[in-house]
């Protein structure tokens, strides 16, 4: 068994290499398993990789495991997938269960330690059954656009932090805490350099994943989908974030999975957004495959915490990093501080955090895989 800390990859390339190296282990269980790739159209060194196999006897159910929709979050996501492959996958029955493991939905973002893709697109605002990349969507974003996406070089960190706090206070006073949060997170389709930008059409990364979802729902009676994210929720307790399209309550799933923290992605418990990937697979199932059984969820590994401090810090970190990306920083030190804060939000280095994150993932794997009938 790999030790917990050594599971965390340090580069996109080494993570991908390790992922590809799992093929023989998967092959031992599923003799038809194969490695597939989508090479990004603008850079043939960047690939979305997946290992897929049908069940060896009868396609009853499939396990779908996805990582890195938000590129920088794939360092943690890849860790959890590796743990799954080593310790949980061997307990699955390949005769009746297919497997689909996806490494780095957003490889450019992983390689470059950004959340969005090369075009600054947050892929989790692009998964729409009925694609509407409407530039007028979320008009309230305009009210906070100048605050979120300041133009000009990132200068002194302390002054920027103070300016941020005043700006935040002013904006919350104007449109309320709830109004601010909704406008921020809902997604927007007009400022291509702004936070939570969803683009103008379905990106190639998104299209690749959509095709895999269709295959899974078409060929299997039951689909279990686990997706990995970081940044949201309490620092030392991973949250399972369910789609608002799943009718089960959070309390129901906490009992069912014997897992202490489940929330639903509604405006009350989490936040409402357009183009969410988990909502997409539910909408697809409900529209085109109503007879199929589906459970899909996101593992959200919290980092800055869910106290007021944490809630206020995440936008700050994202604003500074995005500004430094587009407009540069006054010197290397300020640029490094912006990147460092960003890593702390999506790819923490603290050892105690890493240990607890893996432990939480194990507890969730155990609870979900048992309850859904994938392991006994």
Q: What are phi and psi for residue 203, nearest 5 degrees?
A: -70, 160
Question: Which residues make Cβ contacts (< 8 Å) with residue 267, sequence separation at least 6?
Answer: 182
Q: How near is the Cβ of 170 to Zn ion at its closest, in Å?
A: 28
Q: Which stretch binds Zn ion (CB under 5 A): 24-32, 222-230, 245-253, 280-288?
A: 222-230
Rounded distance, CA 176 to CA 179, Å? 5
Three-state secondary-structure class, residue 349: coil
Q: Which stretch binds Zn ion (CB under 5 A): 3-11, 225-233, 303-311, 324-332?
A: 225-233
Q: Which stretch binds Zn ion (CB under 5 A): 63-71, 103-111, 158-166, 272-280?
A: 63-71
Q: Is 70 in the site for Zn ion (CB under 5 A)?
A: yes
Which is nearer to Zn ion, 70 or 83 (by Cβ)?
70
Buried residues in 268-286 as b, exposed as e (16+ CB within 10 A): eebbbbbbbbbbbbbbbbe
Which is nearer to Zn ion, 70 or 274 (by Cβ)?
70
Of the candidate residues 229, 316, 335, 339, the single one contacting Zn ion (CB under 5 A): 229
Q: What are phi and psi for residue 59, nearest 5 degrees?
A: -75, 85
Which is nearer to Zn ion, 92 or 228 (by Cβ)?
228
Per-residue tokens: 259: 């897992």
Q: How near is the Cβ of 231 to Zn ion at its closest, in Å?
A: 6
**Total number of residues binding Zn ion (CB under 5 A)?**
3
Print the binding letters for residues 99-118 with Zn ion: x by CB under 5 A, - otherwise.
--------------------
CA distances from 7 to 16, 72, 254 (A): 13, 16, 27
Q: How near is the Cβ of 199 to Zn ion at its closest, in Å?
A: 16
Rounded distance, CA 224 to CA 232, Å? 22
Q: How near is the Cβ of 261 to Zn ion at its closest, in Å?
A: 17
Contacting residues toward Zn ion, per CB under 5 A: 70, 73, 229
């Amino acid at each position: 068994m790999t030790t917990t800390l050594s599971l965390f990859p340090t580069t996109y390339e080494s993570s991908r290499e390790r992922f590809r190296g799992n093929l023989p282990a998967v092959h031992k269980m599923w003799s038809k398993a194969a490695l597939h790739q989508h090479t990004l159209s603008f850079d043939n060194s960047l690939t979305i990789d997946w290992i897929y196999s049908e069940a060896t006897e009868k396609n009853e159910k499939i396990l779908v495991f996805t990582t890195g929709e938000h590129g920088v979050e794939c360092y943690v996501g890849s860790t959890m997938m590796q743990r799954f492959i080593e310790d949980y996958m061997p307990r699955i029955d390949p005769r009746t269960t297919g497997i689909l493991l996806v490494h780095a939905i957003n490889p450019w973002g992983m390689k470059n330690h950004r959340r969005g893709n090369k075009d600054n697109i947050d892929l989790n605002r692009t998964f729409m059954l009925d694609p509407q990349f409407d530039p007028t969507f979320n008009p309230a974003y305009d009210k906070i656009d100048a605050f979120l996406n300041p133009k000009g070089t990132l200068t002194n960190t302390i002054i920027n932090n103070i300016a941020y706090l005043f700006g935040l206070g002013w904006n919350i006073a104007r449109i309320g805490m709830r109004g601010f949060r909704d406008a921020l997170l809902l997604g927007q389709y007009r400022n291509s350099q702004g936070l939570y930008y969803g683009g103008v059409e379905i990106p190639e990364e998104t299209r690749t994943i959509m095709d895999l979802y269709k295959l899974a729902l078409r060929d299997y009676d039951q689909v279990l989908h686990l997706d990995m994210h970081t940044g949201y929720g309490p620092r030392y307790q991973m949250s399972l974030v369910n789609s608002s399209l799943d009718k089960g309550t959070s309390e129901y799933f906490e009992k069912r999975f014997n897992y202490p923290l489940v929330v639903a992605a509604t405006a009350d418990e989490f936040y409402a957004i357009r183009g969410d990937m988990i909502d997409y697979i539910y909408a697809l199932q409900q529209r085109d495959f109503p007879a199929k059984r589906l459970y899909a969820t996101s593992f959200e590994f919290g980092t800055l915490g869910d106290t007021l401090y944490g809630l206020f810090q995440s936008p700050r970190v994202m604003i500074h990093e995005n500004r430094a990306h587009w407009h540069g920083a006054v010197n290397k030190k300020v640029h490094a501080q912006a990147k460092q804060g960003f890593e702390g939000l999506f790819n923490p280095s603290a050892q105690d955090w890493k240990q607890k994150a893996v432990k939480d993932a194990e507890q969730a794997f155990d609870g979900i895989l048992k309850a859904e009938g994938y392991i006994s």
